[in-house]
Structure 1
Amino acid sequence: MASFHESQNLSEAASQMAEKPPQKGSVNDELTTKTNSPTTSSSFPEGGLRAWLTVLGGSMVVMCTFGIVQSFGVFQDYYTRVSLKEHSPSQISWIGSFQLFLLFAVALPSGRLYDEGFFRYLIACGSLLYLFSVFMLSLTKPHKYYETFLSQGLGVGLGMGLLFLPSLSISSQYFRARRSLAMGCVIAGNSAGFGWAVRYLCRLLLTCTGLLIYNIRAYGFISLLLLSLSFLSMKTRLPSRRERPDAPPIVVKPLLIDVPYMICVAGAFFTFWGLFFPFFYLQLYGSLHGVSHSFTIYIIPILNGASLFGRTIPNFLADYYGRFNVIIPMTTIAGLLMFAMFGAKTEHGIVAFAILYGFFSGCFLSMAAPMLTVFAKSVDEVGIRIGFACFIFSFALLTGNPISGALLRAPEYLWSHAIIFNAVMVLFGCFLLTVSRAMVAKAKGTQWV
C-alpha cells in the first residue's frame, strides 16, 4: 500500500515538473555539442569582466550604426522640407533604405569572414569607412541628392554592414544560456546613453540649417571615440575555423532545405518590410498634422527611448520561456498598434503611440538574431545563419520605406494606404513566425521555444 502511494506521489511530481517552464540555462540550449566543436555546454563563461566588456563594445558599435539609421526620421523630415524639398518622400527614403539594405546585405560576407577569424579586420575597416563617410556627409551641399546618397546611403551603409554582424555575433562566444539577454544588451545600446543623446542632438541642430555641418562632424568625432573604445574592448574567445582544420565546412545549401528556418526567415522578411515605417515617417506625420515644430524634434527620441525597455526586458524573459514565445506576441501587438496611427493626431496621441510602438517593436529588433540561433546546430553556424538571413532581410529594408513613400502620394499624403500596407506586412510576418515556431516545437518536443 505504501509502495502504491509512493508511486502515485512520484507520478504527480513528474506531472507538475512537466507543466513548469524550464529553468534558466535549459531553455533554447539549442547548439548541440559535436565532437569537432571547440566548446561544450559547460565551457561558456556566461559572464565575467571580459564577457561583459565584449557586450559593452558591441553596444557601442550599435550606438553608432543603428543610431544614425533610426535617426533617419529626422533626416527624412529635414530633407523633405528643406535641403532636398524638390524630391519626393519616396526618393528621399531611398537614402535611408539603402543604408539599411547595406547594413544587412553585407552581413552575409561579413558573417563568413567573421567565422573565418577576421573579426578585428572587419571592425577596423568598417570603422574607417563609416567615419570617412560621416565626415563626407558633413561636406554635402544642399539640393545635391547624389552627394547625400553616396555619402549617407552608400558609404555609411557599407561601413555599418562590416561592423554590425561581427559586433553582435561575438557575444555568442561568451554566452549560451543567457545568449538572448547578451544580444539584447548589445542591440539596446542604440536606445541607451549616447545613442539617445546623439539622436536628440541631431534633431535639435537640424532645426538650424546653418549648423548641419557642425552637427554631423560632432557626431563623427563622438563615433570615433566610441568605435575606438569598442575595438579595444571586444575580443574573440574561441579559435576561428581557420585555426581548426577539423572544423566542418559551412555552406549555404543546407540552410535552403531547412524548412522551419526558411519559414522563419520569410516571416522576419515581411515583418522587416513594414516595421520601420514609424521610424522613418512618424516625425513627418506629426509635422503634417499640426504638431508644433518645437515638439516634433522629440518624437523619434521618445520612440527610441521606449524601445530600450523593449530590447532588454523581453530578452531576459526569452532565456526562460523561449525566444519564439516572446517575440511573436510582442511583434503582433506592434503590428496592431500601427493602426493606432489613424487616431494619433495630437501631441499626446503621438507620444502615446511612440512609447507603445517603441517598446513592442524593440523586442523584434533585438530578438531577431537570437531567434535565428535556435536553428544553429553548433556555434560554428551562428555567423552564417544570421548573415544569410540578414542578406534576405536587406531586400525588405531596401524596398519597404520607398514603397511607403510612394503610397503616401505627396503632396496629398494619403497616410491610410501606407499605414495599412505596413501593418498587414508585420502581421503576416508574425503568422509565418508562428508556423515556424510550431515546427520547431514539434521537432524539439517542447513548447518552450
Structure 2
Amino acid sequence: MPEGPSDINNTTVQTETGDEKPAEASKWTVVTAAGAVLFIGVGYTNTFGVFSNYYQTHLLAGDPPEKIILIGSVASSLYFILGAFTGRFADLVGYRVSLILGAALMVVALFTASVSTTFWQLFMSQGLTFGLGLAFVYMPTTTISRQYFGARMHGLANGIIISGGALGGCVLPYCVDLMMAKYGLAKTFRILGYIAIGVLVPSIFFLKPRASQDSRTRRGQVFDVELLKNKRFLWLLAACTIAMIGFLPRYFLISSSAEAKGIGSTYASWLLGLMNGLSIIGRIGIGYLSDRLGKGTALTLSFLLCGIGHVVFWLPAVSLQDENTETAIALFTLFVVFVGVLGSGFISLFPVVVADMFGSENLASKTGLLNTAVGFGTLAGPSAVYAIIGSGLHRKWMAGVLTAGLLMLVGGILLSAMSAPWNKIRRRTGAESV
C-alpha cells in the first residue's frame, strides 16, 4: 500500500486509506517498554529460588519445602491462569488501564512483603498480590507488538519483549542474593519496590496502543469463549498445557538438585542465572525462526528440544553418585546451556501462534484463554514434581526430572500432530505456514 508523506518528528506515517502506520522508532520504543515491564514482573518471579532458599533456612525454617514453593508457584502461574479474564479485561477497558492497575498491585505487593514475617503473609503479598499484578500487565505487554508489527516480524518482536523477563531472571537473582546478605529481607523488598516504580512508570508511559486497534477490541461479551468450540484450538490448548506442566520445575529445582550432587551453592545459583540469561538468546532466536519456519513448527521444536535436554543432560546429572562432582558440573552446565538456548523460547510464541492461526483481533482475549489452561499446568508442575522427588536423604531426583522431560516431549508430539495437517492447509491456500 503506498505511503503518504511523513514527518520525521511524527511517530506514525499516514497511508492513502487514512490508516496510520507506526514509524520504526515508535515500534521499537514500544518493544523496549514492554520488555522493561516484564523485566520487573517475570524477572522478580524468576528470583524466587533465591528467596526460597532463604525461607527454608531462616524465616520459614519450620515449614516444609513443598509448602514454601507455593509462594513462587502462585506468583509464576497466576498471570497464565487469569489470562482469560485479564486478556478480556485489557481488550474491553484498554491496555493502559490494565497496565496501571497491574503495576500498582506489583509495587504494593513488594512493600507489603517487606513487613511480612509468616508464610501466609508472604503467600498473600509476594505470591498472590504480585501474581495478580503481573497478570494484569502480562497480556497487554505480550500482545501489543502485533499492533505495531505485521505477521512477518511478530515472532521476532515478541521474542525480544519476552526476553525482558529472562534478562530480569538472569540479573536479579544475584542482586537479590547480595542485597539479602547485606541489608536483610525487609530492606531488600523495599529496594525492589523502588526499582519497580522507577522502571514501570516510564515504561507504561511509552506503551501506547494504536488508537484504531484499541477501539476495535472494546466490544463483545465479557468472556469470549468462541474459540473453545474450535477443535484446533482445543488441541493446541491440550498440547501446551501438558508441556507446561514440565516447564517450571527446572527453575525451582535446578539449584537444589545441583547442591544435592555435591556442587557448591554459589555455582548452583549461577546455573539458574545462566539458564535465564541464555534464554534471552533462545527467545529472540525462536521468534526470528518462527517468522521463517512457521509459528507452529517453531513452537513444536522448542517443546521437543526442551524435553530432550531434560533426558539427555539433567537426568544423567542427577543419577550420578555424589563423588562424581566434576562430571555433575559438566552435565548440569550442558543442561542449562542447551535448554536456555534451544528449549526456552516457546513462552514468546503463544500470542504469535494464536494470532497466526486464529487472527489478531481481540488477541489478548484469545491468548488469555490459552494461557488460563496453561497456567493450571504451570501451577501444578513444581508441586507435582516436588512430590515425586520427595524430601530428606532419599530424594527421587531421577523420577522427578524424567517426569518433567516426558511431559515436554508429549506436548511437542501432540503439537506436531496438529501442525502437520494445518501447514498443508496453509500451503494449499498460499498463506504462510503456522
Instruction: Report if TM-score (shorter chain) is over 0.5.
Output: yes
Where do 1:4-403 residues align within 5 Å? 45=21, 48-141=24-117, 144-176=118-150, 177-192=152-167, 196-206=170-180, 208=181, 211-239=184-212, 252-339=224-311, 340-344=313-317, 346-377=328-359, 379-403=360-384
Aligned-pair identity (%):
22
Report 1 or 2 for greater relative contact order, CA contacts < 8 Å, sequence distance ≥ 6: 1
Q: What amino acid maps onto 2:433 in structure 1? A: W
**Displacement after TM superposition at 1:56 (Å):** 0.9
**1:222-280, CA deviations, whole angstroms, 9 ceiling, x for partnerless residues?**
111110111111101133565689x7768634211211111111111011100111111
**Displacement after TM superposition at 1:118 (Å):** 1.9
- Sort the Cα spacing of 1:341 and 1:82 in 2 relative to 1 into closer, same or farther, 3 A: farther
Corresponding residue for residue 4 of structure 2: none
What SS is found at the alignment partner of 1:74? helix
Aligned partners of 2:194 and 2:220: how far apart in 1? 42
Aligned partners of 2:21 and 2:88: how far apart in 1? 24
**Displacement after TM superposition at 1:421 (Å):** 1.3
Contact 2:350 2:367 in 1 (8 A): no
Q: What amino acid maps onto 1:329 in structure 2? A: L
1:437 to 387, 403, 419: 419
Unaligned regions of 5+ residues in structure 1, if any?
A: 1-38
Contact 1:89 1:406 in 2 (8 A): no
RMSD: 2.5
- Sort the Cα spacing of 1:298 and 1:256 in 2 relative to 1 into closer, same or farther, 3 A: same
Aligned partners of 1:261 and 1:387: how far apart in 2? 12
Q: Which moved more, 1:301-310 or 1:91-100?
A: 91-100
What SS is found at the alignment partner of 2:367? helix
**1:68-109, CA deviations, whole angstroms, 9 ceiling, x for partnerless residues?**
222222223332333323222221221111112311122222
Contact 2:274 2:336 in 1 (8 A): yes
TM-score (norm 1): 0.84
**Displacement after TM superposition at 1:132 (Å):** 0.7
**1:361-390, CA deviations, whole angstroms, 9 ceiling, x for partnerless residues?**
32112222212222223x323121101111
Higher radius of gyration, 1 or 2: 1
Unaligned regions of 5+ residues in structure 2, if any?
A: 1-14, 318-324
Aligned partners of 2:206 and 2:245: how far apart in 1? 34
Q: Which moved more, 1:52-61 or 1:434-443?
A: 434-443
- Sort the Cα spacing of 1:321 and 1:342 in 2 relative to 1 into closer, same or farther, 3 A: closer
**Displacement after TM superposition at 1:180 (Å):** 0.7
Aligned partners of 1:265 and 1:312: how far apart in 2? 23
**Displacement after TM superposition at 1:301 (Å):** 0.8
Contact 1:310 1:362 in 2 (8 A): yes
- Sort the Cα spacing of 1:350 and 1:41 in 2 relative to 1 into closer, same or farther, 3 A: farther
Name the count of aligned residue pairs. 405
Contact 1:250 1:384 in 2 (8 A): no
Aligned partners of 2:407 and 2:273: how far apart in 1? 25
Contact 2:286 2:346 in 1 (8 A): no
**1:284-312, CA deviations, whole angstroms, 9 ceiling, x for partnerless residues?**
11222211123223121111011010010
Corresponding residue for residue 386 of structure 2: 405
- Sort the Cα spacing of 1:138 and 1:251 in 2 relative to 1 into closer, same or farther, 3 A: closer
Aligned partners of 1:40 and 1:161: how far apart in 2? 38
Q: Which moved more, 1:393-402 or 1:431-440?
A: 431-440
- Sort the Cα spacing of 1:416 and 1:42 in 2 relative to 1 into closer, same or farther, 3 A: farther
**Displacement after TM superposition at 1:173 (Å):** 0.6
